[in-house]
Structure 1
Amino acid sequence: MNSPAPSPTPKHTDSSPITIVEHRGVAGLDHVARDWRRLYAEMPQRTGFHVYEAHRAYVPTVMAEPDHLRCVIISVDATARAICPLESRSVHILGRPVRVWRLTLPSHFPMGDVICPDEAVRRQLLPLLTHYLRRSAGGRRLLILGPLPQTSPLWAGLAELAPYDYCLSRTSHVYVFDSRQPFEVLLKRLARRYRADLRRRYRRLEALGNVRFATVANTAQLPAHLEAFFDLEARGWKGRPGVGKAIRLRKGQPDFFRDFVARMDGEDDHCEINELHADGRCIASLLCMRTGDEYAIMKTAYDEKYAHVAPGLLLLRHTLERCCADPRIARVNMLGDAAWLRPWHPDRMEMQQAYIALGRWSRWPLIAALEFRFGYGRRAARWLRGKMTVCKLIRRKETVGRRSGSGGLGQ
């Protein structure tokens, strides 16, 4: 259901009139598709979490409350200059559930952002959006923005808010590679022993039969290879009982990726699957997407029977080399900070989130609770986890000592 809802806005220093309207639900998302794609094409850095197709696939398949989706449009001189897609969520703050609005976060994307190519508008967007939502919060007490890079111009708008109106939290970081440099430069980041190990793995791979690397980008072929990726991932550790991280085992995830891959059919914006084959089968696979000059690796899978070859690492090496050789690709985004990437010494993109209070009377108590949770509370939790880990190690050594008859730690 489309629900345009004009709202008065705070004073603006520019003489151009600013208006805010919104459209709701899947129909509302369809309504803003043309403006979304126009703004996306104007963005200097286009990524997967900006692309319309990702949100269009996410809303009906994974989003908990698709009818509550709000596409808030900020227009200057009657022309849309920013789109803020918001979804309704429930988060826990000090053990209590709190209903919030947050930027939509498509599956497996570590960032949520507004669609706004104009840096001047981005710097004013937070106070405008906050003022609008405080008049139509719908019972939600918080607006959550991000995770976004700490260098994003969006954060400049926080200076227009009162200090007790928001709380900042540094989240994690995302690993990226600058693929404009020669691949040999990336390879030299690896320790000499690690490079030697990769060469040994390659020799083991070459000893297998029918070894080949392949990239599937044809939209007619992708569906079959995507299903094969689901199966390969589910046969590994992600599909084990008690883990359940494989796409095929997660509610709505297979439909999201099927829809997303089918919609991403542009020359510059499309999905790819990189594969490593040996012994007549696919032994490693990377589900990737290209958006503008960025190449993102969304998901990885490998056949654990070939772990001695390290097929996932060899396929990543091949993919990085291919991206460095492609002048249209400037950055490889790993969409995470997995420990197995650290030997490559990738660049770190530091991330943060903002929690902005929307309620009239509960702003200070809510922000104070968040400051405690992300400040002293977080440090206390880390200290307690460290103490518990030490206690577990001591108990384990004492148990081993009693079983061996040594009498414990002191003997």
Structure 2
Amino acid sequence: MPVKDRVSIGNLDISLVKALEDLDPHATTWNALALKAPHHLPDLSHAWISSYLEHQLEAGEDWFCIFVHHNSTLVGVLPVIVSPFKRMGLNCHKFRTPYNDQTASVDFLVKPGMEKQIIPLLLSQLKQMQPVCFCFELRRLPECSPTLAIINDGLKKFFPVSTFDGYGSFVKIEGSFDEYKARLGTKYTRNLRRLERKLSALPGVKISFLTGESLTEQALSRFMQVEAASWKWAKGSALCQCESLGFFYKDLTDRLANLGWLEWHFLEAEGKLIAAHLAIRVNRSLIVLKICYDEAYSSYSPGTILFEKMFERAFHSGEVDEVNLLTDYSWNQNWQVSKRPYYNLYLFPFKPLPIIAGYIPIQMRLSFRRVPAVQKVYNICSQHLPWAGQKRSSKEKGTALHIL
């Protein structure tokens, strides 16, 4: 790439990293900066990004990471994946932040208050690194993303397009647990009591909330075992069915445990684990990353019971302001969730091919979908024609629009 690995602009030092081992010296300050971001998500951390880059790249992809220091203090991080593809018979490249079924919401990581200075600077560096880049793509950004605010204020050298990408569910931890249960409704709380009585008839019922470095490998192995006994095995999405996925979560949970961010929530009965959560604490937010239960015990609804106990713990601890479920599945509504919108962002440079083959088509598609009759036809086609519908990850549920 036609750019220096290190450059200074005023009192800002910009460095480029292309090797995994060169990320590690930044780990401590990077993770600390992630804790200051308004997203309250672990995806922005060194722990997550380094695990992704080692185990989750697609064939043919490359990566680099840009760091910005202000007077020797880290103030900006941008991990970038370089993805090759063809458009109009031409070999093209797009830049994107890390994203797949396991990873979402990787945004510009910038010291609060410096976004208007650092984000345009990082975009300028991207443009220099690959002048023929087709676009820069950031997926599933929450509405609190400073990047969305910067883009809305106007951006030089890029045509921006944002598309709605559905909602994510969360529960605000406010008031008492009894008040929260009252909001769930009489019918649902009655059902919870019935399930608890039924479960308590089993021998050896035990609920554990585990943290600590030494628990990681054993806990992950136990989680994977119960996940293999769940619906995820039939779906083909269990961690033990994909070697690279297993390695990714092994490294990720090790790093998160070392930071003190990792939690395991376990429900046991009859001497075995029957439901589990992999959760992450980022400041005062608890992110429920993965859940599973043993289908042999489905009549006991162990996943529901573990969810209730997780909320009870959150309300009683005084240490959690929000439980973030990330998803927007129908069963989330049972827990009286609130919702926040997410958006995809595409930045097209001022070049003929990106404008003709990228920016104009996506704008036309968005315009057509605002027409009710066209939207109805599109929805019908999406259900019956595989080439007509948009791709969605298993984490998402919304109106995501893939253009590449």
Q: Are positions 1:321 and 2:331 aligned together?
A: no
- Which secondary structure state, in structure 2, belongs to the residue aligned with residue 32 of structure 1? helix
Which residue does 1:402 correspond to in 2?
none
Q: Tell me, in whole angstroms, the C-alpha distance in 1 between the residues paired with 2:185 and 2:116.
A: 42
- Which secondary structure state, in structure 2, belongs to the residue aligned with residue 112 of structure 1? coil
Q: Are positions 1:33 and 2:27 aligned together?
A: yes
Distance verdict in 2 for CA 1:107–1:357, change over 3 Å: same
Structure 1 residue 378: Cα displacement: 8.4
Which residue does 1:155 correspond to in 2?
148
Alignment of 1:156-235 (within 5 A): 156-158=149-151, 159-161=153-155, 165-235=159-229
1:294 to 279, 285, 290: 285
Q: Tell me, in whole angstroms, the C-alpha distance in 2 between the residues paired with 1:64 and 1:384.
A: 30
Distance verdict in 2 for CA 1:140–1:28, change over 3 Å: farther
Structure 1 residue 257: Cα displacement: 0.9
Cα contact 2:158–2:349 (8 A) shared by 1: no
User: Residue 47 of structure 2 aligns to which amino acid in structure 1?
Assistant: E
Cα contact 1:285–1:301 (8 A) shared by 2: yes
Structure 1 residue 359: Cα displacement: 5.6
Cα contact 1:103–1:113 (8 A) shared by 2: yes
Q: Tell me, in whole angstroms, the C-alpha distance in 2 between the residues paired with 1:202 and 1:94.
A: 59
Structure 1 residue 329: Cα displacement: 1.5
Q: Are positions 1:362 and 2:353 aligned together?
A: yes
Q: Tell me, in whole angstroms, the C-alpha distance in 1 between the residues paired with 2:173 and 2:154.
A: 37
Cα contact 2:158–2:350 (8 A) shared by 1: no
Structure 1 residue 364: Cα displacement: 2.4
Cα contact 2:157–2:349 (8 A) shared by 1: no
Distance verdict in 2 for CA 1:186–1:109, change over 3 Å: farther
Distance verdict in 2 for CA 1:161–1:383, change over 3 Å: same
Q: Are positions 1:137 and 2:130 aligned together?
A: yes
Q: Tell me, in whole angstroms, the C-alpha distance in 2 between the residues paired with 1:98 and 1:340.
A: 41
User: Residue 289 of structure 2 aligns to which amino acid in structure 1?
Assistant: M
Distance verdict in 2 for CA 1:41–1:150, change over 3 Å: closer
Distance verdict in 2 for CA 1:266–1:329, change over 3 Å: farther
User: Residue 277 of structure 1 aligns to which amino acid in structure 2?
Assistant: E
Number of matched pairs: 379
Which residue does 1:13 correspond to in 2?
none
Structure 1 residue 163: Cα displacement: 9.8
User: Residue 151 of structure 1 aligns to which amino acid in structure 2?
Assistant: C
- Which secondary structure state, in structure 2, belongs to the residue aligned with residue 189 of structure 1? helix
Give deviations 1:282-303, integer Å, cap 9, x for gaps: 1111111112211111111111
Which residue does 2:56 correspond to in 1?
62
User: Residue 244 of structure 2 aligns to which amino acid in structure 1?
Assistant: G
User: Residue 59 of structure 1 aligns to which amino acid in structure 2?
Assistant: L
- Which secondary structure state, in structure 1, belongs to the residue aligned with residue 123 of structure 2? helix
After the TM superposition, which of the residue ranges 132-141 and 227-236 deviates more from structure 2?
132-141
User: Residue 205 of structure 1 aligns to which amino acid in structure 2?
Assistant: L
- Unaligned runs of 5+ residues in structure 2 are 385-404
Cα contact 2:62–2:83 (8 A) shared by 1: no
Which residue does 2:263 correspond to in 1?
272
User: Residue 128 of structure 1 aligns to which amino acid in structure 2?
Assistant: L
User: Residue 218 of structure 2 aligns to which amino acid in structure 1?
Assistant: A
Q: Tell me, in whole angstroms, the C-alpha distance in 2 between the residues paired with 1:95 and 1:374.
A: 24
Which residue does 2:328 correspond to in 1?
337
User: Residue 134 of structure 2 aligns to which amino acid in structure 1?
Assistant: R
Q: Tell me, in whole angstroms, the C-alpha distance in 2 between the residues paired with 1:185 and 1:139.
A: 57
Cα contact 1:24–1:71 (8 A) shared by 2: yes
Which residue does 1:311 correspond to in 2?
302
- Which secondary structure state, in structure 1, belongs to the residue aligned with residue 105 of structure 2? coil
Distance verdict in 2 for CA 1:164–1:87, change over 3 Å: closer
Structure 1 residue 110: Cα displacement: 3.0
Q: Tell me, in whole angstroms, the C-alpha distance in 2 between the residues paired with 1:250 and 1:309.
A: 29
Give deviations 1:314-361, integer Å, cap 9, x for gaps: 101101110111122211111211221112221111111210013622
Q: Are positions 1:371 and 2:363 aligned together?
A: yes
Distance verdict in 2 for CA 1:217–1:329, change over 3 Å: same
After the TM superposition, which of the residue ranges 221-230 and 72-81 deviates more from structure 2?
72-81
Which residue does 2:337 correspond to in 1?
346
Q: Tell me, in whole angstroms, the C-alpha distance in 2 between the residues paired with 1:69 and 1:387.
A: 36
Distance verdict in 2 for CA 1:73–1:387, change over 3 Å: closer
Distance verdict in 2 for CA 1:154–1:314, change over 3 Å: same
Which residue does 1:248 correspond to in 2?
240
Give deviations 1:356-378, integer Å, cap 9, x for gaps: 01362234222112223444258
TM-score relative to the length of structure 1: 0.82
Identical counterparts, % of pairs = 20
User: Residue 309 of structure 2 aligns to which amino acid in structure 1?
Assistant: H
Give deviations 1:134-182, integer Å, cap 9, x for gaps: 2212643111124211232222221232597111111121111112432
Which residue does 1:72 correspond to in 2?
66
